[in-house]
Amino acid sequence: MSVSSLSPGDTAAAGRPVAASRPEAIKAIPVRHWGRWLSAAIVLYLVAALIFSFVKSPNIDWPTVREYMFMPLILRALAVTIELTFVTMLVGAAGGTILAIMRLSQNPVLSWIAWVYIWFFRGTPVYVQIILWGNIGVLWTKFYVGLPFTGLVFGSADSGTLVNNLFVVSVLALGLNEAAYAAELVRAGIISVDAGQTEAASSLGMSPLLITRRIVLPQAMRVIIPTMGNETISMLKTTSLLAALGGGIELFGRVQSIYAQTFQIIPLLVVASAWYLIVTSILTVGQARLEAHFGKGFGAEETEAAEKRAARRASKASAVLDKAQRTQGRRS
Amino acid sequence: MVKAEQVWKSFGNLDVLKGIDFVVQPQQTFVLLGPSGGGKSTLLRCINHLEKIDAGRLYVAGELMGYKERGKVLHEMNARDVARQRASIGMVFQRFNLFPHKTAIENVMEAPIMVQHAPRKKAEAEAEVILRSVGLGEKLDTYPAQLSGGQQQRVAIARALAMKPKLMLFDEPTSALDPELVGEVLDVMKQLARDGMTMVVVTHEMGFAKEVADGVALIDGGVIVENGPPGEVLVDPKEERTKLFLSKVLA
């Protein structure tokens, strides 16, 4: 079986009309947008007034803002906020992917479990969930591993040890909530992959799980990853709700616990807002890059990798060819 | 190789196939013709159990597709057994359905590695041989998006051949192609037929049917209107319906 004599494209070159010489390019005066200039001036004027009222306000104590801005106490809380954001998103994305696959499964039990989970965690406010996790010890004083209703117990742990670790409680509260939202994003991503992909893969004898893992999920990721970037930015700010747990391990909780004692409410809120803005700005740039990378179908990275592989193959082939020629030369 | 006995299939209240009977011998090329909506593609998709049939029996290589028969009782096959049956039946789609996140050679290697657990090196070497045989030796590391329709369809054929199938199913493989690219795909299919592959082909390419088909069937309204060698069905049809169809297609 060899049809390598076919070379597509050799029919196209013939019979194409010859282009005439190109006329002079158009030079024209562009349309003037006077309205834009006027509205920009008015907006600038108003913004200047607003900034002036902030900067010169006697109620914002700028030296205090400057003092707290880079205080280790604040910076450490900021670090915890960032850490919480990423760990929570990791838990949320992993959990969401599993939930989405369960939800789309042919197995009604798995699909139903995922539905109930999403129903509960999306149906109650995240603020309530945080406080519920903070008080989980009131609901269950001990956690048991065993068979329910039989009295069979293999091991148990005090819920107090869990509740005392604020970071773990925070990750549980936000991560389990995020998983429910992420599940819907992942599900949308999976559904966006053409049904023909699944058909082609199953016609090759691939099992449903293999198809999901090797064919559908990698393609769904192109839709999911940019939206996950958006979720991460949102999560950074949602961590401020953890202030409700007390203890002040993250930025807003820390700020709150400080101004509860010093009453420097406005300066400390300015500090917190400034930090949230700075970090979200950085994340927004990252998000835009992700979107540019994944939005345009197939990224430069993959093309580059393929080109490298092609080059490697070519050099291998030419080495073989060289060898063949050399041995031939020796023979003749 | 393929035997259909009174195959019925309906979508809701709509009967798409109403008692189809036919046999395809090993190494033969069987072409299904007919107007769109007549049931040709559905029949093809039933053969590898992408669609479940409602009545009748479909056998490939002597094996009942999608069910196990124990005594007089039919048991539905589980996903793994269905996958195993499909692995020996290649299918080529109208819209190619290549995996866009994989290069040409990765598309071809995927199933041998993941389904047949072939060693990577061996799978890669074999994939290269198959891609060369369909004239794509220069395009091994190219992504589908950078290939023409004809090249994509040839990769799709190579992908199916890599599983060393007993039977190849073609679902209007040239219908989505620019006219000038149809020839390169048909050439590969003709070569395949000459090499002795058993093939069931849904197509509107009369030239292909005349040249390589061993049997031709006209399907309309869910039934086989006429079935026979191309020399009879295409040249001297007995049924009025076939004459009407051919006069429209060849006009």
Three-state DSSP string of chain B: CEEEEEEEEEECCEEEEEEEEEEECCCCEEEEECCCCCCHHHHHHHHCCCCCCCEEEEEECCEECCEEEECCEEEECCHHHHHHHHHCEEEECCCCCCCCCCCHHHHHHHHHHHCCCCCHHHHHHHHHHHHHHCCCCCCCCCCHHHCCHHHHHHHHHHHHHCCCCCEEEEECCCCCCCHHHHHHHHHHHHHHHHCCCEEEEECCCHHHHHHHCCEEEEEECCEEEEEECHHHHCCCCCCHHHHHHHHHHHC
Q: Reading across the β-sheet that carries B29-33, which strands appear in turn?
A: B89-92, B167-171, B198-202, B29-33, B215-220, B223-228
Sign of the C-alpha dihedral, residues B148, B149, B152, B154?
A: negative
> Smallest Cα–Cα separation from B169: which of B135, B121, B133, B203?
B203
Contact B34, B219 (CB under 8 A): yes
Considering only CB atoms, which chain B residues are within 8 Å of A5? 135
Q: What is the pLDDT of residue A301?
A: 55
Residue pairs spanning A and B at CB distance below 8 A: 111
Contact A4/B at CB under 8 A: yes
Considering only CB atoms, which chain A residues are within 8 Å of B132? 2, 4
Contact B148, B174 (CB under 8 A): no
Q: What is the pLDDT of residue A9?
A: 45
Q: Rounded to a whole number, what is the distance in angstroms from the first to the last CA of chain A?
A: 32
Q: What is the pLDDT of residue A304?
A: 66
Q: What is the pLDDT of residue A4?
A: 40
Sequence-distant (6+) residues with CB within 8 A of B31 are B201, B202, B203, B208, B209, B213, B215, B216, B217, B230
The model's pTM = 0.80
Q: Do A2 and B133 touch (CB under 8 A)?
A: yes
Q: What is the pLDDT of residue A15?
A: 54
Parallel/antiparallel/unpaired status of strands B29-33 and B198-202: parallel
Considering only CB atoms, which chain B residues are within 8 Å of A197? 97, 99
Q: Do A206 and B111 touch (CB under 8 A)?
A: yes
Q: Do B98 and A297 touch (CB under 8 A)?
A: no
Considering only CB atoms, which chain A residues are within 8 Å of B188? 1, 3
Q: Please state at what angle helix A217-238 crosses helix A265-295, rounded to 10 degrees.
A: 170
Q: What is the pLDDT of residue A211?
A: 95
Q: Do A205 and B115 touch (CB under 8 A)?
A: yes
Contact B25, B212 (CB under 8 A): no
Instruction: Please give the distance of CA B140 from its chain centroid, rounded to a whole number.
Output: 24
Which segments in chain A show pLDDT lower than 50?
1-14, 297, 331-332
> Smallest Cα–Cα separation from A136: which of A104, A111, A100, A161?
A161
Mutation target for A interface from B120, B141, B152: give the one with most A CBs within 10 A: B141
Chain B residue with CA closest to A197: the answer is B97
Contact A307/B at CB under 8 A: yes
Least CB–CB distance from A214: residue in B48, B114, B192? B114
Q: How many whole angstroms separate alpha carbon B63 and alpha carbon B66?
A: 9
Per residue of chain B (251 residues), give pLDDT as tens: 999 999 999 999 999 999 999 999 999 999 999 998 889 999 999 999 999 999 999 999 999 999 998 888 999 998 899 999 999 999 999 999 999 999 999 999 999 999 999 999 999 999 999 999 999 999 999 999 999 999 999 999 999 999 999 999 999 999 999 999 999 999 999 999 999 999 999 999 999 999 999 999 999 999 999 999 999 999 999 999 999 999 988 76
Q: How many whole angstroms separate alpha carbon B155 and alpha carbon B99?
A: 10
Q: Rounded to a whole number, what is the distance in angstroms from the first to the last CA of chain B?
A: 34
Q: Do B133 and A204 touch (CB under 8 A)?
A: no
Contact B226, B233 (CB under 8 A): yes
Q: What is the pLDDT of residue A177?
A: 96
Considering only CB atoms, which chain B residues are within 8 Å of A8? 148, 150-151, 181, 184
